[in-house]
Structures are given as structure tokens and as C-alpha cells.
């Protein structure tokens, strides 16, 4: 059995969540996915605050981050993660509908590890998710302190 | 006969005058003689000589030296004949000499006085003529100043107006008579751009001053003038008078103000336009993000349904499912193209010198996938370099070349030509020609519009954004696009860009 890292997904759209989970399920990557529905919840999870105060403080193997989020938007989440000494080791993949160069440039400026535009075509979408999941949760050697099972 | 008359006319004024002058001598001596004889009859003997002296004096004064000599001679003869013993004889003796000398001396004296008088008279006349000439010249000069459109006036050191030309009268509405003697700053209610003391200090220091003044006219309206002052000093160097020339610049000022207000309006519009542009950008961003998400869901769940419930669907259901998927994908393409199109309008252009030959080579290289298995005859002419944004111009060529490849699909062999056409001397005109489906020239105006298509989508696929993109890019370069086509014979697309 391969070692699969835990995936933290930050996505407000339940349909996108379901499609993503379906895609990951096909490759047996879905059982270690944590879904947070807005920027604030994602930060609570990462900083072990609020309803996540009691969780063990290991890092996930990767965070899949949407940019357009309620309350705290994706770029702000990215900024806080990359300016925290412990969290900056966490690989962050922006997974968004936006092809805007502005978003791309801002994300890379803030130190994102990858930027993926969600394809409209379902096959491409499933492929993209699968490759992301396989690469970051399986192939990539996660930084020390992240969860493996 | 006539000639004689003419000559006598020509000489007549001189002779009668001479005769009259010598006549004066004869008459005056005769009158003196008669008077002296009459007086002697009443017993007064010594009055004769003074009377002759008087006759000589009158002749010398009025008739000149010649008649004076005649008068002296006649007086001496008459005196000797009538009043010196022996009476009634012309017997000259030494005793006559004092009387003759007296007459001579008196005649000479009066002649001399007369000469002096004439000289003084001459000088006076000359002086008068000179004065008159000067007056005429001055008047002419003054009337020249009246001819100018500028308003000119002169004021003395007490600011009282001493000269006021017609231009001033026309500008301000006061006549010369009304203005002269008035204090100019009071009359015109001058508003100065700086304290008057400073202005006058500059005037005294440099001899001149220039600036803009506001004056009030006779009818109460104000007028803006460009004013030039020149100072005239007397021989001791003290300020004597100021010449003030004023030009009405009210219209100019009004136009300046109009331009300023138009500029302000323009700035307002520009700000509005920028705001509209920002809104449009925000709109494009939402389209990019929010419109794609539901589309992905439609496609995604339709796909999932197809996969998991495919066997449950009948033939019709499966066809519907396929159409849903195709439509969703097509809408995705439309959105992507529209976004790319709107991005061209917002992107900054980076103008450099672009080697078009090399650009064409790159574009053809990238088109190889599309042309696999096709029989295409390429004719590529050498192209010059031009000035433009390389990546945008590449997009233009990509669009035109892929159109040419697409619309020649039913031709064997297809011919595609890229070359240079005639244009202005500061631009490069490039054309892309094909022998494909072509188009009807009556729809040529629709060709470059967004989402305009002239072919059915099941024959030639596409979103109808390619040529709109081409036009937008070329317009951003300050160039032009045009197209020529014949149905089923092919089309030619031209674009112009600035020369490098």
C-alpha cells in the first residue's frame, strides 16, 4: 500500500467539492481529504483554532485552495500561510476557475507551489485532480511534520 | 498777333510795378513841393526840408533803393529851385550841400532800416512755414496712431491722459475730448495684477512694463487687456509721460477659459471611462470565474450520469446527454475566447521592432498539427520588419493562418499565400490569401464583429471571435484591416502596421 498524504481542500462550492471528491475517489485518494468551506475555516484548521482547536497539529500533505472564497479570500489565506514559520512548509496548490493573469501573478508572488485552472471539460478536470492528488499526496515527499497513513 | 498779346501779358506785371514804385518817388516829392509852397504862402519858411525828408523816407520805405535815389534827386532839385535863394533857378552852390547830404543820409538810413525790416520779415515767414510743415507732419503721425487697432494713450507723471487715439476711443467708448485730462486709472477703474507701487517701480527701473489688466469701459462692461507701458523721461531723467498700449484679450481669455472647462469636462469623461473600464474588467473577471463554475458542474455531472446511468438510458437519452456535454464544452470555448478578446483591450502593448518573416515562420511551424494530412501549397513572400507588440501580432497571424487552413479544408490542393501589398510609405501592409470557401462581399461589414459568423457551425467550427481579435489588435497598433472575398473562390485579409 502506498503512503497517501492528507489533502486539505478549501472550496465553497458544494458541487465542486463533490466533483473533486468523485475524481479523487476513482484513484482511492478521497479517504484522507479534509474539506473546509471558506478561508476562515481553512485558517482555523491550519492554526488549530475554533472547532479545530483539539486536533493534533500535524500538517496536511497539500492544500488545494480556491481563490474566490467567502469571508477570507484565497489570496489572504495563502499570504497568512506563507508568512507563518511553521505553515510555510505546506505545499499550496491554487485550484481556481480564474485564468486572470492578475491572480496568477499575485499567487506566485505570495509563494504558491502550483497554479491550476479548473478545466470545463469533465475528463480534463478529473485528470487534473487525479494528477494533482497523485503527485502531491503520493509522489511528492511531504515536508516533515505532515500526516501520512 | 496772339504771340504779341502773350508776351505783353508775360511782361506786364513787372513794368507797371516798377512804374508805380518810381511813381511813388515822383508823387511824394510833388506832394511835398506843393505842401511846402502852400505853407510858405502862410509865412512858414523852414518846413520845406522836413517835408522833402518825409517824402524821401516814404519812398525809401515803400518803394526801395532805386526810387529813393530818384526821390533824393528830385527833392534836391525841387528844394534848390523853389526854396533856396535865388528862387526859381537851378543854381547849385556850396550852400546847397548840407541839404543834399541830409537828404542822402536820410534816404540811406531809411533804405537800411527797410532792408533789415525785410530780412526780419523773411525770417519770420520762413519760421512760420517751418512751423506749419511740422504741424502737418505731427498731425499726420497722430492720425497714423489713430489708424492702428491697438488702443494707445499717453499719460503724464500725474497719470492725467494727454493723448488718446481712436483705438482707445473704440475700445473704451470715451471720446478724445472726454478722456484727455482725466486720471487714467480712475477713468478705466484699472484692476492691477500686482500692487501699483511694484509695477511703477519696475517701470522706473526698466523703462517698460507688460501685464494683463482689467479695465471698465464707458458702458460699464469690463474688458481684459494685454497692456504694455513705456516710460518717457525728460532731459533730466525724470519720468515725464507713460505710453500705454492695450490689446483686448477678452475673447482670448474667454476661449482659454472655455478650453479649461472643456478640459475639465474631458477629464471627467476620462475618469468615467476609466471607471466603466474597471467595471468591465470586474465583469470580465466574474465571467471568467463565476460563469465557468456552473458550466463545469453541468459538464461534470452530465458526464457522471452518462457513466453511472448509461445502461439505464435509451438511445434518445444518450443522444441528449451527448448534446448537453457538447453544448457545455462549446460554451466553455466561447467564454475563453471572449475573455481572451477582452484581455487584448486591457493588456499593455510592448512596442518593439518585429521581424515578420520570422514571426510567419513560427506561426507556420505551430500550425503543422492542424495541417497534417492536408495538401496545401504555401506561397510565402519575404516581409519587412514592422513596429508592434510581438505576441499580439503573432496572435493576428495565428488567427488569419488558422482561418485560411480551416476554410480551405474542402480544396485539394489548397493554396495559401502570405505577402506584402502596397500601402502608405510609413506602414507595412500584409495579406493572407486562400482559395477556400470565401464569403459574399455584401456581408463584409459583419466579418470583423464579435461572434459574427458567415458559415454554418456544422460546416466550419469556430466561435466567431478570431477576426474581431485581429481587428482589435491592429486598431491598437493604429493600423487598418480589410477583407476581400468571393464565395467558393477564396478570401484575402489585409492588415497594416507601422513600419519599424
pLDDT, one tens digit per residue, over B474-487 is: 998 999 999 999 98
B134 in a structural domain:
no
pLDDT tier at B111, thresholds 50, 70, 90: confident
| A20 contacts in chain B (CB < 8 Å) | none
Which of B296, B317, B342 marks a domain boundary? Answer: B342
* Confidence (pLDDT) at B456: 73
Q: What is the pLDDT of residues A42-86, one digit of tens each?
A: 999 998 888 888 888 788 888 999 988 888 889 999 999 999 988
- Mark whether B237 and B297 lie in a shared domain: no
Q: What is the pLDDT of residues B251-284, one digit of tens each?
A: 888 899 999 999 999 999 999 988 888 887 777 7
Rounded to an integer, what distance in angstroms lies between the CA atom of residue A142 and that of residue B177? Answer: 105
Peptide bond into B413 cis (omega under 30): yes
B91 in a structural domain:
yes
| B300 contacts in chain A (CB < 8 Å) | 15, 19, 122, 125
Is the Cβ pair B336, A13 closer than 8 Å?
no
B130 in a structural domain:
no
Residues 6+ apart with CB under 8 A from B73: none
| B301 contacts in chain A (CB < 8 Å) | 15, 19
Q: What is the pLDDT of residues B368-378, one digit of tens each?
A: 888 888 888 99
Interface test with A, best of B291, B299, B300 (most A CBs within 10 A): B300
B372 in a structural domain:
yes
Q: What is the pLDDT of residues A20-29, one digit of tens each?
A: 888 888 777 7
Residue B147: pLDDT over 50: yes
Rounded to an integer, what distance in angstroms lies between the CA atom of residue A63 and that of residue B84? Answer: 166
Is the Cβ pair B300, A15 closer than 8 Å?
yes
B109 in a structural domain:
yes
Range of the domain at B233: 148-248
B138 in a structural domain:
no
CA atoms within 13 A of residue B1's CA, in its CB half-sphere: 0
- Mark whether B367 and B475 lie in a shared domain: yes
Which of B292, B324, B342 marks a domain boundary? Answer: B342
Rounded to the nearest angstrom, the minimum Cα separation between B376 and chain A is 32
Residues of A with CB under 8 A from a CB of B: 13, 15-16, 19, 22, 67-68, 96-101, 118-123, 125
Residues 6+ apart with CB under 8 A from A4: A28, A29, A31, A32, A61, A137, A138, A148, A149
Residue A123: pLDDT over 90: no
Residue B128, classified by CB atoms within 10 Å of its CB into exposed (0-12), middle (13-18) or buried (19+), is exposed
* Confidence (pLDDT) at B13: 60
Give the residue-averaged pLDDT of B414-430.
Answer: 91
Rounded to an integer, what distance in angstroms lies between the CA atom of residue B71 and that of residue B107? Answer: 9
| B292 contacts in chain A (CB < 8 Å) | 97, 118, 120
DSSP bridge pairs for B414: B376
Of A101, A121, A123, the CB nearest to B332: A121
Give the residue-averaged pLDDT of B459-477.
Answer: 85
- C-beta of residue A38 within 8 angstroms of C-beta of residue A72: yes
Rounded to the nearest angstrom, the minimum Cα separation between A143 and chain B is 32
Among A105-114, B81-90, B315-324, the range of highest mean pLDDT = A105-114
Rounded to the nearest angstrom, the minimum Cα separation between B324 and chain A is 12
Of A13, A16, A122, the CB nearest to B303: A122
Interface A-B: count of C-beta contacts within 8 A: 60
| A129 contacts in chain B (CB < 8 Å) | none
Residue B126, number of CB atoms within 10 A of its CB: 10
Among B86-90, B432-436, B458-462, the range of highest mean pLDDT = B432-436
Of B292, B304, B343, the CB nearest to A97: B292
* Nearest residue to B491 via CA among B414, B413, B391, B389: B414
Of A19, A99, A123, the CB nearest to B288: A99
Among B147-156, B307-316, B397-406, the range of highest mean pLDDT = B397-406
pLDDT tier at B148, thresholds 50, 70, 90: confident
Give the residue-averaged pLDDT of B133-159.
Answer: 84
- C-beta of residue B230 within 8 angstroms of C-beta of residue B224: no
| B285 contacts in chain A (CB < 8 Å) | 98, 100
- Mark whether B490 and B358 lie in a shared domain: yes
- Mark whether B355 and B223 lie in a shared domain: no
Which of B289, B309, B342 marks a domain boundary? Answer: B342
- C-beta of residue A114 within 8 angstroms of C-beta of residue A78: no
Give the residue-averaged pLDDT of B300-306.
Answer: 83
Is the Cβ pair A19, B301 closer than 8 Å?
yes
B131 in a structural domain:
no
Percent of residues, chain B, with pLDDT higher than 90: 26
> Does B289 lie at the interface with A, CB-CB under 8 angstroms?
yes
> Does B322 lie at the interface with A, CB-CB under 8 angstroms?
no
Collapsing DSSP to helix, strand or coil, B305 comes out as helix
Distances (CA, A) of B350 to B394, B426, B427: 13, 19, 18
| A121 contacts in chain B (CB < 8 Å) | 299, 329, 332
- Mark whether B227 and B281 lie in a shared domain: no
* Confidence (pLDDT) at B122: 92
CATH number of the domain where residue B325 is located: 1.10.287
pLDDT tier at B1, thresholds 50, 70, 90: very low
Domains and CATH numbers, chain A: 11-139 (3.40.50.2300)
Rounded to an integer, what distance in angstroms lies between the CA atom of residue A81 and that of residue A36? Answer: 15
- Mark whether B210 and B259 lie in a shared domain: no
Of B285, B329, B332, the CB nearest to A100: B285
B12 vs A97: which has the higher pLDDT: A97
Rounded to an integer, what distance in angstroms lies between the CA atom of residue A80 and that of residue A47? Answer: 10
- Mark whether B483 and B374 lie in a shared domain: yes
- Mark whether B118 and B49 lie in a shared domain: yes
Domains in chain B, number? 4
- C-beta of residue A9 within 8 angstroms of C-beta of residue A35: yes
- Mark whether B330 and B403 lie in a shared domain: no
| A119 contacts in chain B (CB < 8 Å) | 296
B422 in a structural domain:
yes
By mean pLDDT, which of B142-151, B171-180, B245-254, B317-326 is the weakest? B142-151
| A125 contacts in chain B (CB < 8 Å) | 296, 299-300
Measured on CA atoms in the order A66, A69, A72, A76, is the torsion positive or negative?
positive
Is the Cβ pair A97, B290 closer than 8 Å?
yes
Collapsing DSSP to helix, strand or coil, B488 comes out as coil
pLDDT tier at B7, thresholds 50, 70, 90: very low
> Does B483 lie at the interface with A, CB-CB under 8 angstroms?
no
- Mark whether B202 and B82 lie in a shared domain: no
Residues 6+ apart with CB under 8 A from A119: A125, A128, B296
| A13 contacts in chain B (CB < 8 Å) | 293
Interface test with A, best of B282, B293, B346 (most A CBs within 10 A): B293
- C-beta of residue B170 within 8 angstroms of C-beta of residue B151: yes
> Does B285 lie at the interface with A, CB-CB under 8 angstroms?
yes
Residues 6+ apart with CB under 8 A from B225: B151, B171, B212, B213, B214, B215, B246, B247, B248, B249
Interface test with B, best of A120, A124, A130 (most B CBs within 10 A): A120
Nearest chain B residue (CA) to A98? B289
* Nearest residue to A119 via CA among B402, B303, B394: B303
Rounded to the nearest angstrom, the minimum Cα separation between B312 and chain A is 21
- Mark whether B113 and B45 lie in a shared domain: yes
* Confidence (pLDDT) at B10: 45
| A100 contacts in chain B (CB < 8 Å) | 285, 288
> Does B300 lie at the interface with A, CB-CB under 8 angstroms?
yes
Is the Cβ pair A121, B299 closer than 8 Å?
yes
Residue A71 phi, psi dihedral angles, 5° rounding: 60, -90
Nearest chain A residue (CA) to B335? A120
* Confidence (pLDDT) at B449: 82
ipTM of this complex prediction, to 2 decimal places:
0.71
Residues 6+ apart with CB under 8 A from B173: B217, B218, B219
- Mark whether B489 and B364 lie in a shared domain: yes
Amino acid at each position: 500500500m502506498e503512503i497517501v498524504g492528507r489533502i486539505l481542500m478549501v472550496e465553497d462550492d458544494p458541487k465542486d467539492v463533490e466533483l473533486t471528491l468523485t475524481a479523487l475517489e476513482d484513484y482511492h485518494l478521497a479517504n484522507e481529504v479534509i474539506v473546509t468551506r471558506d478561508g476562515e475555516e481553512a485558517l482555523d484548521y491550519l492554526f488549530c483554532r475554533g472547532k479545530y482547536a483539539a486536533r493534533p497539529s500535524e500538517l496536511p500533505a497539500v492544500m488545494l485552495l480556491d481563490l474566490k472564497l467567502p469571508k477570507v479570500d484565497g489570496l489572504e489565506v495563502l499570504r497568512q500561510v506563507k508568512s507563518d514559520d511553521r505553515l510555510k512548509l505546506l505545499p499550496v496548490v491554487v485550484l481556481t476557475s480564474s485564468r486572470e493573469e492578475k491572480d496568477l501573478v499575485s499567487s506566485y508572488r505570495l509563494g504558491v507551489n502550483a497554479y491550476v485552472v479548473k478545466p470545463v471539460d469533465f475528463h480534463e478536470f478529473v485528470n487534473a485532480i487525479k494528477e494533482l492528488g497523485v503527485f502531491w499526496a503520493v509522489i511528492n515527499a511531504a515536508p516533515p511534520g505532515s500526516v501520512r497513513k | 498777333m496772339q504771340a504779341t498779346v502773350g508776351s505783353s501779358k508775360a511782361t506786364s506785371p513787372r513794368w507797371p510795378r516798377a512804374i508805380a514804385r518810381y511813381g511813388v518817388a515822383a508823387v511824394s516829392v510833388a506832394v511835398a513841393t506843393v505842401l511846402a509852397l502852400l505853407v510858405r504862402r502862410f509865412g512858414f519858411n523852414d518846413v520845406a526840408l522836413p517835408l522833402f525828408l518825409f517824402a524821401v523816407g516814404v519812398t525809401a520805405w515803400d518803394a526801395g533803393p532805386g526810387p529813393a535815389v530818384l526821390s533824393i534827386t528830385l527833392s534836391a532839385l525841387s528844394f534848390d529851385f523853389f526854396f533856396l535863394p535865388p528862387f526859381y533857378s537851378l543854381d547849385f552852390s556850396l550852400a546847397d550841400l548840407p541839404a543834399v547830404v541830409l537828404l542822402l543820409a536820410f534816404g540811406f538810413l531809411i533804405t537800411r532800416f527797410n532792408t533789415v525790416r525785410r530780412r526780419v520779415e523773411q525770417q519770420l515767414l520762413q519760421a512760420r512755414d517751418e512751423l506749419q510743415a511740422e504741424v502737418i507732419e505731427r498731425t499726420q503721425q497722430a492720425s497714423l496712431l489713430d489708424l492702428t487697432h491697438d488702443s494707445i494713450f499717453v499719460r503724464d507723471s500725474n497719470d492725467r491722459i494727454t493723448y488718446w487715439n481712436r483705438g482707445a476711443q473704440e475700445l473704451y467708448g470715451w471720446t478724445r475730448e472726454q478722456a484727455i485730462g482725466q486720471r487714467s486709472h480712475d477713468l478705466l477703474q484699472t484692476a492691477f495684477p500686482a500692487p501699483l507701487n511694484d509695477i511703477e517701480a519696475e517701470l522706473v527701473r526698466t523703462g517698460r512694463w507688460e501685464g494683463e489688466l482689467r479695465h471698465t469701459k464707458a458702458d460699464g462692461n469690463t474688458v481684459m487687456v494685454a497692456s504694455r507701458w513705456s516710460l518717457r523721461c525728460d532731459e533730466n531723467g525724470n519720468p515725464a509721460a507713460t505710453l500705454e498700449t492695450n490689446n483686448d484679450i477678452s475673447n482670448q481669455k474667454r476661449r482659454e477659459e472655455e478650453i479649461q472647462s472643456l478640459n475639465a469636462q474631458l477629464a471627467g469623461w476620462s475618469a468615467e471611462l476609466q471607471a466603466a473600464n474597471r467595471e468591465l474588467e470586474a465583469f470580465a473577471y466574474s465571467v471568467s470565474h463565476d460563469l465557468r463554475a456552473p458550466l463545469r458542474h453541468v459538464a461534470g455531472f452530465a458526464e457522471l450520469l452518462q457513466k453511472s446511468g448509461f445502461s439505464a438510458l435509451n438511445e434518445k437519452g444518450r443522444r441528449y446527454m451527448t448534446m448537453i456535454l457538447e453544448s457545455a464544452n462549446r460554451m466553455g470555448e466561447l467564454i475563453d475566447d471572449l475573455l481572451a478578446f477582452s484581455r487584448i483591450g486591457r493588456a499593455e502593448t510592448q512596442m518593439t521592432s518585429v521581424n515578420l518573416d520570422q514571426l510567419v515562420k513560427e506561426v507556420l511551424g505551430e500550425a503543422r498539427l492542424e495541417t497534417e494530412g492536408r495538401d496545401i501549397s504555401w506561397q510565402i513572400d519575404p516581409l519587412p520588419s514592422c513596429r508592434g507588440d510581438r505576441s499580439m501580432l503573432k496572435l493576428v497571424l495565428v488567427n488569419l493562418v488558422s482561418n485560411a487552413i480551416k476554410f480551405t479544408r474542402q480544396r485539394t490542393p489548397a493554396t495559401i499565400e502570405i505577402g506584402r501589398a502596397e500601402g502608405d510609405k510609413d506602414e507595412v501592409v500584409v495579406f493572407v490569401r486562400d482559395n477556400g470557401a470565401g464569403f459574399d462581399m455584401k456581408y463584409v461589414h459583419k466579418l470583423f464583429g464579435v461572434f459574427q459568423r458567415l458559415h454554418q457551425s456544422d460546416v466550419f467550427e469556430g466561435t466567431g471571435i478570431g477576426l474581431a481579435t485581429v481587428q482589435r489588435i491592429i486598431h491598437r497598433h493604429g493600423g487598418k484591416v480589410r477583407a476581400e472575398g468571393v464565395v467558393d473562390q477564396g478570401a484575402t485579409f489585409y492588415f497594416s502596421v507601422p513600419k519599424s
